[in-house]
Amino acid sequence: MPVMHFQVRWPDASETRCYSPSLVVQDFLAPGQRYALEDFLQRTRDALSIASERVRAKYGFACSQAMDQLAEIAHIAARFADTADAEVTVVAFD
């Protein structure tokens, strides 16, 4: 399966390089696009869940690394839950 990474910028200008075991994330996120925090969380939940299921379909087990990445994204996003109009920017795919 083709693996991809995507770089995101959080509301405090910090950045995280994120992992996906599938290119499906390109169907949910676009480089240069800003997303409201909750929208970003839902999009990454959807994309990484689909990616994990694609791994399951091919190899017989879900992708724990995708689920770990989703947990990390949720953990970081929680820091901004009380920030009005918090947005996350997708910087790039690589």
Give the E-state strand segments of 12-94 in sequence order. 15-20, 34-36, 87-93
Q: C-alpha 10: how far from its chain's center?
A: 12
| Beta bridge partner(s), residue 89 | 9, 34
Q: What pTM did the predictor assign?
A: 0.94
Per-residue confidence in pLDDT tens, the chain, 94 aa:
689 999 999 999 999 999 999 999 999 999 999 999 999 999 999 999 999 999 999 999 999 999 999 999 999 999 999 999 999 999 999 9
Q: What is the pLDDT of residue 1?
A: 67
Please give the biggest Cα pair distance in the chain: 42
Q: What does 3-22 look like in DSSP terms, one character per residue?
A: -EEEEEE-TTS-EEEEEESS
Q: Do the beta carbons of residue 7 and residue 92 sit within 8 Å?
A: yes
